[in-house]
Amino acid sequence: MPRITEADLKKQIKNKSFSPVYLIYGTEQMFVKSYTQMLREAVAGKNPNNFNCQTFSGDINLSELATALQKTPFMAERNCVVASDIYFDNMLKDDLDTFRELAGRAWDGTVFIVSMPTYIPSKNKNSFNALVKRIEKIGSVCCFEKINSQIVEKYVAKWANENGKLISHLNATRIISNVGEDLNLLKNEVNKIAAYAKGEEITDRDIDLLSTVNLETRTYDMADDVINGRGDRAFKKLDILFCQREEPINILYALSSAYVDAYRMRVADECGIRKETVAKDFAYKNRAFVLNRARTSVSRTSTEALRKSLDVLVETDEKLKSVSVNQRFLIEQLISRLLLIAKEGRV
Are 157 and 243 part of one and the same domain? Answer: no
| Single residue among 180, 210, 240 that ends a domain in this structure | 210
Position 1 in a domain: no
Position 241 in a domain: yes
Give this prediction's pTM.
0.60
Classify the C-alpha dihedral 324-326-331-332 as positive or negative: negative
Are 10 and 137 part of one and the same domain? Answer: yes
Residue type, 192: K
- Give the C-alpha separation, 105 to 99, whole Å: 11
Number of compact structural domains in the chain: 3
Are 198 and 219 part of one and the same domain? Answer: no
Are 103 and 78 part of one and the same domain? Answer: yes
| Single residue among 121, 143, 165 that ends a domain in this structure | 143
Position 130 in a domain: yes
Cα Rg of the chain (Å, integer): 25
| Single residue among 84, 109, 143 that ends a domain in this structure | 143
- Give the C-alpha separation, 306 to 266, whole Å: 9
Are 239 and 329 part of one and the same domain? Answer: yes
Are 226 and 275 part of one and the same domain? Answer: yes
Contact (CB, 8 A) for 88 and 124: yes
Are 203 and 115 part of one and the same domain? Answer: no
Contact (CB, 8 A) for 130 and 100: yes
Are 10 and 136 part of one and the same domain? Answer: yes
H runs (alpha helix) in 163-281: 169-179, 183-196, 204-210, 215-227, 231-243, 248-270, 275-281
Are 16 and 132 part of one and the same domain? Answer: yes
Position 135 in a domain: yes
Name the residue among 13, 139, 146 with its Cα closest to residue 83: 139
CA 251 to chain centre: 16
Are 221 and 186 part of one and the same domain? Answer: no
Largest Cα separation within the chain, whole Å, is: 79
Position 202 in a domain: yes
Name the residue among 29, 185, 35, 184 with its Cα closest to residue 119: 29
Name the residue among 178, 338, 319, 311 with its Cα closest to residue 249: 319
Position 280 in a domain: yes
Are 280 and 266 part of one and the same domain? Answer: yes
> pLDDT tens, position by position, for the chain (347 residues)?
578 999 999 999 999 999 999 999 988 888 999 999 999 999 988 888 778 899 998 888 999 999 999 988 877 788 999 999 888 888 888 999 999 999 999 999 999 999 998 777 777 778 888 899 999 999 999 999 888 888 889 999 999 999 999 999 999 988 887 777 778 878 988 999 999 998 999 998 898 888 877 777 788 889 989 998 999 989 988 988 887 678 899 899 989 999 999 999 999 999 999 988 998 888 887 677 788 888 888 888 999 999 999 999 999 998 888 767 788 999 999 999 999 999 998 87
H runs (alpha helix) in 71-214: 93-103, 125-138, 149-162, 169-179, 183-196, 204-210
Q: For residue 99, what are the contacts with CB-CB under 8 A and spacing of at least 6?
A: 62, 65, 83, 86, 91, 131
Range of the domain at 179: 149-210
Position 179 in a domain: yes
